[in-house]
Structure 1
Amino acid sequence: MSYRSGHPSAAIHPHGHQQAQAPRPAAPRPARPPQRPAPTGNSYTIAHAGRQVRIGPVLFWIVVGSIVLLGCWSAATATYFTFRDDVLTRLIARQAEMQYAYEDRIAELRAKVDRTTSRQLLDQEQFDQKLEQIMRRQSLLESRAGALSALPDVGVTGSIKPTRTPSFEAETNSRPKPSPINDTVIFVAPPDREARLESRTSPSALEQAPTQYAKSQGVESVLMRLQTSLDQVERRQVASLGAVEESFESRARRMRGVLTDLGLDARGIEASAPRAAVGGPFVPVKQPGANASAFDRQLYRIYISRSQFERLNRALALVPYRKPVLGEVEFSSGFGVRSDPFLGRPAMHTGLDFRASTGDPVRATAVGKVVNAGWQGGYGQMVEIDHGNGLSTRYGHLSKIIAKVGQSIQIGQVIGEVGSTGRSTGPHLHYETRIDGEAVDPQKFLRAGVRLAGAG
């Protein structure tokens, strides 16, 4: 308790302001220890347990004011929380709102990731479908190339190697964990919110979306180039197929026209045409159905045209339209009426005289069998070959006979040598073509050979 300095029984008041009192008779006082001189000026002394602490008035009132303010604040705060308990509810609601907003943001990001992943999966599926379609088309073009390579005079158009293309995989290794919120209050999210928070892909996939998009654009470009390349291959194959079909049909038309112009029985010649040593079981080619592609139908037509061409080609092996001697053709006498070289009178010349030198080889102009080989009057040494269907050829004035009677002769086989035997004025080859024993102009067959050269 604070008190003024001075006599113990005196009232507390500032030093130096005591009023004079009437003198009293001195009374005996007990002895006391000497005291410190009283301080001058206004001051406050706090005594406790025999100790005294003096403080100034300013500090004293500051301490008193602080104690009063703290008391007022405590009272106000207690009153506020006592009568305004909805503040805590608002704080909890705000905290829940912040948590829900955070979770909504996470759900939105994961939904975006899901959409991106779904789009990537859809793109991957479309890419797989396109790639599978390209592979099927490539396989088809390769099979067509194989079919074209089996045709004569047709080069293989080639095929495209499978291209490795990058694959896209969804990343599902990690799942984001939100930073913890104040754990003093536990909140239970609604069921729909839990459903929105479910995700199969991490946000890292969303970050890689632009890269994946760029890659997908690059793959699309590769697929487009591959499609263009396959289109070009298919166009070349179709063009080659059309050229082969036109070639076979053109050759067949020329061959039929030659046989018709020569007055020959095409069917009879085809039936008697020589065949190579071939065989095997008969496996018919299936005729394309209504759903067959244009390529398959055209290929089937080519098979038919090729079969007809081969039959006609074998038949023409029996037709003597080739030259009996090599080199430039030079006639010393033609077919028809001429002046006989020995008698000087008009006479029928039944063949062509080819100018040649003694010893030049004489070759067969068609496939056949030797029916005569020897001396034959005015022919001198002569070889006659029967080609079937009433066709035959004669080679006269030979200096040497190589073929023998009954021998099968192939086209271009040497059967003798040029000479001047028989009724001849010099070395040359007398060449005849006969149909049913009647002599016909050999130039008719040679001109047919020129026509057929364009079909071969």
Structure 2
Amino acid sequence: MSKSSAQYSQYPQHHPHDHGRAFQRRLGVPAPATAIPLPAPDDAYTIVHAGKQVRFGPVVFWIVVGTVVLLGLWSAATATYFAFRDDVLTRLIARQAEMQYAYEDRIAELRAKVDRTTSRQLLDQEQFDQKLDQIMKRQTALESRATALGAMPDVTGSIPRAAPQRSDASPSTPKPSPISDTVIFVAPPDREARLESRAPSVVAAPTSQFAKNQGFDNVLVRLTTSLDQVERRQMATLSAVEESMDSRMRRMRSVVSDLGLNLAHLEAAVPRSAMGGPFVPVKLTANAGPFEKQLYRIHTTRAEMDRLNRTLALVPYRKPVIGEVEFTSGFGVRSDPFLGRPAMHTGLDFRAASGDPVRVTAYGKVVSAGWSGGYGRMVEVDHGNGLSTRYGHLSEINVKVGEVVKIGQVIGLVGSTGRSTGPHLHYETRIEGEAVDPQKFLRAGVRLSAG
């Protein structure tokens, strides 16, 4: 197919003048050269088949050609799609499966992370609750220790305290005013080891509330440090008390020894008060800590000290008159005030004003109360175990024979009866009836009152 349809025709066109040329060709006579007529040039396309011609315009022609080309391309694409369809689907399915697995793995990883976080939070919460519970138990233990320390009387004077108010209003029970006020012991009001560092009080937050890492850890550290300080102070207090008690026990025993007294005999002479009850031995628990052991030792020492105090209550080491100690005459050989010759003075003469109260220096029983020669009016008190004291030159006697007297009780008034040159108190200390220097006992009282 071309623009000159005559050149591409399968069969030549017949013309009326061609009959002669055909005959000449059969005879072998060459035909004269003639020009082949050309169709008139135009833009049409002609299709000739079996003597029939079909003419197309250029627009229709190219539409047909384009359609054929498109159909061919579509056929090729369709063939290619069906040829590779299975591979594409396989790859798509594999890709989809890979993405699904990746999502599932990611979800599993996130779930595991959440589980680990939850487990860590639960563990942290559990640890926080355990620490807080330990702190609460420790605080309770420290508070009970503080109560035990507060209930422990101060038998040593090792902890500073304000001077207690003493009642001197009643004339029948005045203060004994000895050199050593170590007979009656009162617990100091400020002895208790307080938990001043507890603020705020250790009150557990709701256990369901999660302990935020850094904040609550700092709170626990501060609480633990505060409780450590309280515990150290309590242990230091106990150590000071124990050391002071041990020191006082040594002084008390040494005083008895220096005075030449038999401690066992003194203890046997101690009057027994009305006490009783079942015997329950003191013992430590198996899980007792250092504080409990030290407190046990202190209680044991305190019980022994109480026994020694009751024993020493029979030893006349206190002053018989109030005020400053001033002697007008000591124990031993002196010049007799009446005769001017050397003579043995069997006691101490205390300077005092007429009418000043005279107090007994130890527990005992009155064995003599009346006029006794050169003593004038005199009171003698038997303290047991061979110990006795005499109070002479009294202007007035306030006790009777056989009366049991207590430390500091007024037994008479200072005077100048008997062989005396003026108002004073003649005071004697005797062991097994033998006069001994009262200053020896008074110095023992000073030693006991020290520290």
| Contact 2:129–2:207 (8 Å) recurs in 1 | no
Which whole-Å CA distance do the structure 2 matches of 1:63 and 1:276 have between them? Answer: 142
User: Residue 337 of structure 1 aligns with which residue?
Assistant: 333
1:390 Cα deviation after fit:
0.8
Q: Give 2:30's aligned residue.
A: none
Partner of 1:78: 78
Q: Deviations over 1:152-198 (max 9, x none)?
A: 2372223443233464668xxxxxxxxxxxxxxxxxxxxxxxxxxxx
Q: Contact (CA 8 Å) 1:262, 1:445: kept in 2 or not?
A: yes
Q: How does 1:100-249 map to 2 (within 5 A)?
A: 100-153=101-154, 155-159=191-195, 160=198, 161-165=201-205, 167=207, 215-249=212-246
Q: Who is 2:431 aligned against? A: 435
Q: Which residue of 2 aligns with 1:392?
A: 388
Contact 2:132 2:204 (C-alpha < 8 Å) held by counterparts: no
Does residue 453 of the first structure (1) align with residue 449 of the second (2)? yes
1:97-121 Cα offsets, whole Å, 9 max, x none, are: 1111111111111111112222222
Q: For each residue in 1:316-353, what CA deviation from the matched residue of structure 2 results, as whole angstroms up to 9, or x when unmatched?
A: 11111111111111111111111111111111111111
* Map 1:365-384 → 2, pairs under 5 A: 365-384=361-380
In structure 2, give the amino acid aligned to 1:130: K
Change (3 A) 1:62 1:447: farther
Cα separation, 1, equivalents of 2:299 and 2:446:
26
Following superposition, the deviation at residue 126 of structure 1 comes to 2.1
* SS class of match (1:392): strand
TM-score, normalized by length of structure 1?
Answer: 0.73
CA 1:348 to 1:77, structure 2 compared with 1: closer, same or farther past 3 Å?
same
Q: Distance in 2 between matches of 1:57 and 1:285?
A: 132
Aligned to 1:27: none
Q: CA deviation at 1:229?
A: 1.3
Matched, 1:316 2:356: no
Cα 1:414–1:117 shift into 2, 3 Å: same
CA distance in 2, matches of 1:233, 1:371: 55
Question: Do 1:275 and 1:314's aligned partners in 2 also have CA atoms closer than 8 Å?
Answer: no
- 1:288–1:300 contact (8 Å) kept in structure 2: no
- The whole-number CA distance in structure 2 between the counterparts of 1:394 and 1:441 is 12
* 1:130-170 per-position Cα deviation (integer Å, ceiling 9, x unaligned): 22322232232223223222222372223443233464668
TM-score (norm 2): 0.74
The amino acid that maps onto 2:141 is: L
CA contact (8 A) 1:320 1:393 kept: yes
Higher RCO, Cα 8 Å, sep 6+: 2
Query: How much has 1:372 moved relative to structure 2?
Result: 1.0
Partner of 1:89: 90
Aligned to 1:302: 298
Are 1:317 and 1:366, in contact at CA under 8 Å, matched by a contact in 2?
A: yes
Aligned to 2:343: 347
Q: CA offsets, 1:187-214, max 9 Å, x none?
A: xxxxxxxxxxxxxxxxxxxxxxxxx7xx
The 1:383–1:91 alpha-carbon spacing in structure 2 relative to 1, beyond 3 Å, is same
The answer (yes or no) to whether the contact 1:399–1:421 under 8 Å persists in 2 is yes
Percent identity, aligned pairs only, is 70
- Do the aligned residues in 2 keep the contact of 1:418 with 1:427 (CA within 8 Å)? yes
The answer as to whether partners of 1:373 and 1:384 remain within 8 angstroms in 2 is: yes
